[in-house]
Structure formats: C-alpha cells, structure tokens
Chains A and B, each alone.
Chain A
Amino acid sequence: MEYEVVVGLEVHAELNTKTKIYCSCKNAFGGEVNTNICPKCTGMPGTLPTLNKQVVKSAVKMGYALNCTINNVCKQDRKSYFYPDLPKAYQISQYDIPLCEHGYVDVLVNGAQKRIGVTRIHIEEDAGKLLHDDSFSGSLVDFNRCGVPLIEIVSEPDMRSSAEAKAYLDTIRSILQYLDISDCKMQEGSIRCDVNVSVMKKGAEHFGTRVEMKNVNGFSGTVRAIEYEAQRQIEALEKGEEIFQETRRWDDVKGKNFILRSKEDAMDYRYFPEPDLGTIVVDEKELKRLKDSIPELPNKKQMRYISEYGLPEFEAGLLVENIEKAHFFEDCVALNICEPKNILNWLLGDVTRILNERNCEISATRLTSKNLTHMIALIDKGIISNTAGKTVLEVIVDADVSPEKVIEEKGLAQISDTSALEAIAQEIIAANQKSIEDYKKGKTNVLGFLVGQCMRASKGQGNPTVLREILLSIIEKN
C-alpha cells in the first residue's frame, strides 16, 4: 500500500526588535539568568503591558511577503494555562483575528514550484525557560526570554513530504532574513516549530487523523521528526491500528516522539480579548509604507537570476538563500565588466569557502564588488591564471587593494611573450621526444601533459593558451 504524508507547520520566529513586546527590556539572547527582566515582563501584580509598535510593523511586513490579507484593525487575546515559565499564567497572543491571514508562498522542490498556503500570522509573547540544577532538587525559572516578541506563522496542510517541509522552512527563513525582522539563529531557538502530520492512502479524498508534535527545534530535526512520525503512523495503519488525535513531544536526541496528551486532555485555553491593551490599528499610510518596504524576495530573485542571467536553478537558489551574497552578486553584475556566471562561480566557490572557514558573512570581510569583478576580468583577459586569481582573492578579502597591485607585488602576471615561452617549450620538447611520437601516433592527450610541464617550468606564469599554440607548431614542424 502506498501512503501520502500530509504536513502542516506552525513556525514560531523570534523578532529582532530592540526591546521586548510589552516592556522596555532589551530583546537580547542569553545573558545572566534573570537579569534582563522587569516588573512588567515578570507579570508582577499591578503591572500592565504596552505594545511595542515595531512588532506589529515586522509582522505586517511578513504578512505582505507571504501574500496575506492584513487585518489592520485587530486585537490581542489572552491564552490561559498554568506553567512556571509563564509568569502571568496567560500568554498574550491573538485568537480569532490574526494580524495577517489567507496568504501563500511559492517554494522550489526538486525543480518544481509548489505553492504552500499560509493560514495566518499572529503576534505573541515568548515564555521563560525552566532550568534544572543538580545542586537543587526542584526546577528554577529564567524569565529573560519572557516577553520576547514572536510571530507564529501557520501553514495550510499543503506539504506532502519532509522535503517539501524543508523547502518551505528554508524559504520562510530566507524571507525573514530578507525582511531583516528575525535573526533566524536555530541554535538560539529563534525559530521553533510545531509539526502536524497525518498520512493517507495515495489518492484518498480525506486526510488521515492528525498528530501534533511539539518541541521540534531546527530544520533537520523537523525533517527527522516528520519522517519518524509518518513512518510510525504507516506502521500502525498497516497493523490495522487506529491513529488517535493527540499531541506528542519530539525528542531529537533519541530520534523518537512520545505522547504528551490525548485529545480528551486537550487544553482549554479560555481565550478572551486582552482588556489591558487597546485595538491595534495600522493606518493606510503606514500599510503602504510597509508594503513598499518589502524588497525583492528570494523566490522571485531566484527566478529572475535564472531568466535574466542564465544561472542554473540550483546555484541560483544557493545564491539567493543568503541575502548578503545575493546583494553582493547584484553589485558585481551592475559593474558590467565580467560575466554573471563567472561571478556566480567565484561567489559560490572560493568566496563561500573562505566565509565558511571563517564562519562569517561577506560584510565582515573587506571584499568589494569592484575588486572581485576586476580580478575576474583580469582572468578573462588572460592577464592572470585562474590559480593566480585564487591567490589574489586571499589578499583582497582582507584588504581593499586593487588586484593589479596584488599581481604586481606577487609577480602573478602571466607570460604571454611568445619568445620567452618558445624557449621554455623547446626545452620541454627536447626532454620529451617520445611524447611527440606518441602525439603523432594519435595520443593527443600528451599535449596537456606538455602544457603542464611548461607551466611548471614557468612557475605557473605562462599563459597556457599561448603555450598550447607554441607546442603545437613545434610538433608540426618536427
């Protein structure tokens, strides 16, 4: 029996606003336990929340980026439950009227474009964290994260594989980065996921029973969690068992999930409108300003790179995934002194290698679009070899000096002077008479060997194209 997996995702992304959502504490990760707190975010009796307007702006931007309808008049609601990391015993969130709804996003999966529906995006506050310490028998609470602003992005159950879920998450993450509204640091938990999974027989009309998984951190964890849960459900169905609507907790270390609560124990959050906060109103002028501020987004950019510059789809995808690289690429192309494809190869090749080695972004280096394109143009003109280009790159990554200067100082210019190269070629041929015979017998690949020998003799500075021509003419004369 063949089964189809149905996946819906609830992505919680921490916003990178300067301050928390309802107080003026810094919105910062880490720090000494319980130091970045105040009476408001710890829910002291009598304190009241006041909404950080930047949170609304960021969420509206995300709404536009995901093609949503914006409910520019909406409210906030209280979601009640008891837990020690939730100091007010309710979370301020949005219930029946989210800030954004009815959107979608197009993602590329294995070369095909797929549209994933976005049910809603709402704003809410994060909770604190429980800590466990061996020196103490109970649990301790760190409230630093209380009041960190979140947006929750809820998708439609439109994904049919873990690969589609991964593509969706990658797209959401790069959009968040493009909008500069979230840091998207997985290891700091700034993007977290609740995953809804069901399976159905291929071609079935109705979805199977849905199981929700909580505590899924990281994108690779999401993929593993979906695959595990889908397999668990398929195995159960194959055995003739029933799937129950329940909530399960994903344990990434064990690679398994465990039941958290069944449908009967489902929480009643007793939502009601937050009486301490007024209506959220975003006026038309502000809406327009926010809409106009949305940059070209990664999926659109990728399509354009393919059609406009003839870049291959996969590489174009890699390029747009990182907004800095994409911008750098466009700066380079605008200078119009070398081929976009060559720029792409350098950016994804040696530039990316260097950045990965250093674990940094382009902006943290001194590389400029002018120097990089200049260097590439010098290779195109035959002034330096590709190998010499790599040497130049190592220098211009750390200093804003012209490639010509680097070439001059390091003596990297190619020798294209025929008389000098002819002398080298004669020498090599003299030492390899057998090769000429081989060549004449049809083993033309010895030519490459001879060029290599000449390059070595010229300490890499000989122009290989010129050398090849000289070698050929000598062989023919012989």
Chain B
Amino acid sequence: MNLYELTATELSKKLASKDCSAVEATKSVFDRIEEVEGKVEAYLAVTKEEALNKAKEVDEKRAKGEALSPIAGVPIGIKDNICTKGVLTTCASKMLYSFVPPYNATVIDKLCSQDMVMTGKLNMDEFAMGSSCENSYFKKTKNPHNLSCVPGGSSGGSAAAVAAGEVFLSLGSDTGGSIRMPASYCGIVGLKPTYGSVSRYGLVAFASSLDQIGPFGRCVEDVAMLYSAICGRDENDATSVICKYPRFTANCTDIRGLRIGLPKEYFGEGVDAEVKKAVTAAVSELEKAGAVVKQISLPSTDNALSAYYIISSAEASSNLARFDGVKYGYRTESFDGLIDMYEKTRSEGFGDEVKRRIMLGTFVLSSGYYDAYYKKAKLFQKRISLEFEEAFKGCDIIITPTAPDTAFKLGEKVSDPVKMYASDICTVTVNIAGLPAISVPCGKDSKGLPVGMQIIGAKFTEQKLFDVASFYEALTGGPQKVVHVPV
C-alpha cells in the first residue's frame, strides 16, 4: 500500500509513532500528483519544494521530541481563494492571475503554526461562482470517478485532489454548497461549518454573510481533525463567534434515540430518483440502528434559491468592485482615461459567470429596486432561519440529499446558467440560515457515480454531525478509498 492511500488520521498516527516520516508521506503525495494530475487537473499551483522543506523540518522537530499537532506533517491542499503569503492566490480568475498576497489568511496562519505541509493551491470556479469547476480561467478539473464528468463546484479542485489521492486533506469554501456539492460528486466527506466558527479573514470574499471555509477528507475523522485545527474565534473577523471550540471526534457507536428529520421539500420533483433512493436507504440504515425518523416540512425552501442568488450576488457585486486594475492583478493593455481603464479591465478580467452575478447584484441593490429584491430576500433569510429553528425543536438533525443529482458531464450545463444554479437547491438554505452541514458518501448510482447525503445540524452542533456521519461511515465500510484514476 502506498502512503498516499492512508487516511489523514492513519498517517497522523504513523507519523506520531515514527512508522513513517513526513518527508516520505509528502514524496508519496507528489509521486501521486505526478501520476494522475495530468488527468485530474486539480491543482493551479504545486509548492513541492516548500512542502518537502517543511516536511523535513517537521521530522526534525519530531526527532527532537517536540509536542506536535495531529496535523503536523500531513500534506494539505488549499483552495485558491484563501490567501497564502508569497504564494499566488488567483481565485481561478484572469483578474488575479498575478496576485501574490502580502499576508496569510487566519486559517493558513493557524495551520502553519501546527506544522502543516502545504502541497499547493487548488482549482475552483472563478471567485467561487459555479457548481462544476468549469468557470476556472485556467483549467477544467475532472471528476476522478469519471474523467468526462465534472467534480462539482466551486471547490472542485479541493474535492478531486482528495478523492484522487493527490493530497490527504484540503480546504475549500462554501457559500451555497461549494464544499458539500463537490464532496458529494467526488465521493468524499466535506463539512460546511457554522457561520462564524471559522475565520473568513484572508478568504477572498464572494458573499460575506454566507461564505465559510471548511475541510475535505476521505473519512469523517479526517474532516473532524482538520476542522478542529481551523475553527475558533478570530480578532480579525468581526463575524467570528466567541464560543467553546472543543477538539472534535468521530467515533460514535450508538445513535439510539437520535431524532432525524426528513424535509419533504428536499425529496421532491427536482431530485433524481436514484439519489432519492440512495439517501432514503441510508436513512433506513440509521433507523435500523435505533434512530427515530420523522417527516418534516421546511416550506420556504422553494424560494430559497432566489433569495440566495439575490443576497449572494448583491454582496458579490460589492466585494468584487475592488478589482479595478488600479492596485494589483490584471489591468487592460491600452485605455483612454480612468473610466475606460475600469471598463476594459473588468470586461476582460472577469469571466461570464462572474459578470452575470455582478450585474445581477448591482441591479438588485440599485435605488428603486432595493426593496423589491434585496430587502425581500433578507426577509426570506429570516423566515428560513426561523423554520430551521422550529424544526430543530422536534429533531436533532435533518437529512437531505447533498445534490439533486450525481456528477454531470463536462459542458453539459455551461450554456444554461439556471439549470446550473438548480444544482445548489439542496445546499443553499444551510448557508442562508448559517447552519453547519456535512456531506457523506452514501452509495453510487447506476453509472457508478457517488451519491452524497447531507446531514444538517443546529448552529454549533458540528460534533453531532461528526457522530452521525462517523456512525454511518462505520456501518457502510469505513473510510473512502483513493479513487483509481485510469492513466
């Protein structure tokens, strides 16, 4: 067995007991990258030299008997919208093709202080806008399960890399499903944490009130380990929440009495029959193990997608206004005056999907339209949050499909934005309500593509999500294996 095939927690134990070295593990990962990256195309930048130097440093620390974090020496990949000091951070956009941040995101500082070995920066939809990773300016990442399919988005590179064994763990960001959806498509585990539990400082903002950084792994325990390493209050993020952040575990063996809510709106028409079947079967397994399942209703779900696209686009139009060619990144070659420079730079620097959302967002914030769109969407946000609050009085967790379908073909939805937006139907409500949710694999469809089950909890109940997800995982064969990629 190759080292890269271990889970992160298995590797962590081996490193601690000195069964292998961080240098060996890192080399194994880079050998795997060498082997399959040409097919998967998950990375935008590979930082091999720095990674090997760091791994060597970690091994030396360990040899000296220093107390180290569980993630010390474990190779981790980072989504390319998280600022890494001195390392290109492009957001997969032409606009930031040359942007090297002068500072680290808080999560990067946290991981560096815990001796992370960073393998590189991972591909994504431009500025995290998309559900297939096809909106990257630089390359199209493939789904390791089927190279003609998309890995999901926007954190497609982060999900594909973990699934293909090109890294042990990765960080993504989730604004409307951008962690859970690619985790589902790539057959791995992904967590969208409670809003405010992971610092957003250094995450290039898409929609500030919805964005959240979260971990990917091939098992629940890996995700719990990485989440433990990144969560916590940050003075640099006014929206980060002060509360107790324990070290999270994933070894639950008893779910008797667990109350599971199944909202009927998430099992309706738009959801693929095979997906429904797989998720329902998974719920039945949990029921057999002693959980109590009840049908519930979250009636505002139908309007959630519209509210989501209004709020997220409004914030995006403002957050992306700073990319104007004045300070960093792309500037048009020739221009006549300031306004012309702005127009050409932004027309040439942004891709179609980003421009679509900037225009939508600018429109809904315009005077005369604000009340009809943005204000109304914010009211819906409140209503959706209240419905969830109400639902959690009667159940401990809510289970839904993560995505309405499994991975689709590259190019299949690019010309139909509305169809693409519908991929987020099961995930956006969680962001709108600021809740935590985890996606765990629950079987495959007839095409052999993974199906994901979404487990949603009340705010700051990540431990409960890990409990249920790890229980289910243990019940169904344990951690996911590295996907065989035909080369």
Contact = CB atoms under 8 A, between A and B. Distances in A.
Given A44-B101, A46-B205, A275-B207, 16 more contacts: A39-B102, A44-B328, A45-B205, A46-B89, A46-B204, A47-B201, A47-B202, A48-B201, A80-B365, A88-B321, A89-B318, A89-B321, A89-B322, A272-B365, A275-B315, A276-B238
Contact of B327 (A50, A87, A276): A87
Contact of A272 (B81, B101, B235, B370): B370
A50 B322 contact: no
Given A50-B235, A270-B362, A44 B321 contact: no
B237 interface: yes
B198 to A, nearest CB: 13
Nearest to B81: A46
For this complex, into which size category does the number of interface residues on chain A fall? 20 to 34
Nearest to B234: A48
Contact of B200 (A44, A48, A88): A48
Interface in A390-424: none
Interface in A40-59: 42-51
Contact of B105 (A46, A90, A275, A277): A46
Interface string A350-364: 000000000000000
A276 B318 contact: no
Contact of B238 (A46, A80, A278): A278
A45 B235 CA distance: 18
Contact of A84 (B338, B362, B365): B338
Contact of A50 (B203, B238, B321, B324): B238
A308 interface: no
B318 A44 contact: no
Contact of B318 (A45, A268, A270): A270
14 contacts: A43-B327, A45-B99, A45-B205, A46-B81, A46-B205, A87-B327, A88-B322, A270-B318, A270-B366, A271-B365, A272-B314, A272-B374, A275-B208, A278-B239
Contacts of B449: none
Interface string B278-300: 00000000000000000000000
A260 to B, nearest CB: 15
Contacts of A268: 366-367
A141 interface: yes
Interface in A77-105: 78, 80, 82, 84, 87-90
B93 to A, nearest CB: 10
Contact of B204 (A45, A50, A82, A88): A45
B234 to A, nearest CB: 9
Interface residues of B, number: 44
Contacts of B317: 270
B96 interface: yes
B326 interface: yes
Interface of A: 39, 42-51, 78, 80, 82, 84, 87-90, 141, 268, 270-272, 275-278
A282 to B, nearest CB: 16
Given A82-B342, A270-B362, A270-B366, A45 B237 contact: no
A42 B203 CA distance: 16
Interface of A is mostly: loop
Nearest to B210: A275
A89 B201 contact: no
Contacts of B366: 268, 270
A47 B314 CA distance: 19
Contacts of B238: 48-51, 276-278
Interface of B: 81-83, 89, 91, 96, 99, 101-103, 105, 200-205, 207-209, 235-239, 314-315, 317-318, 321-324, 326-328, 338, 342, 362, 365-367, 370, 374
Contact of B321 (A51, A84, A90, A275): A90
A51 B317 CA distance: 23
Nearest to A50: B238
Given A44-B103, A46-B205, A48-B237, A272 B322 contact: no
A42 to B, nearest CB: 7
Contacts of A78: 318
A351 B463 CA distance: 73
Closest 6 CB pairs of A and B: A89-B321, A275-B208, A275-B209, A270-B365, A45-B204, A46-B202
A217 B207 CA distance: 38
Nearest to A276: B208
Given A89-B322, A270-B366, A50 B236 contact: yes
A276 B239 contact: yes
Contacts of A275: 207-209, 239, 315
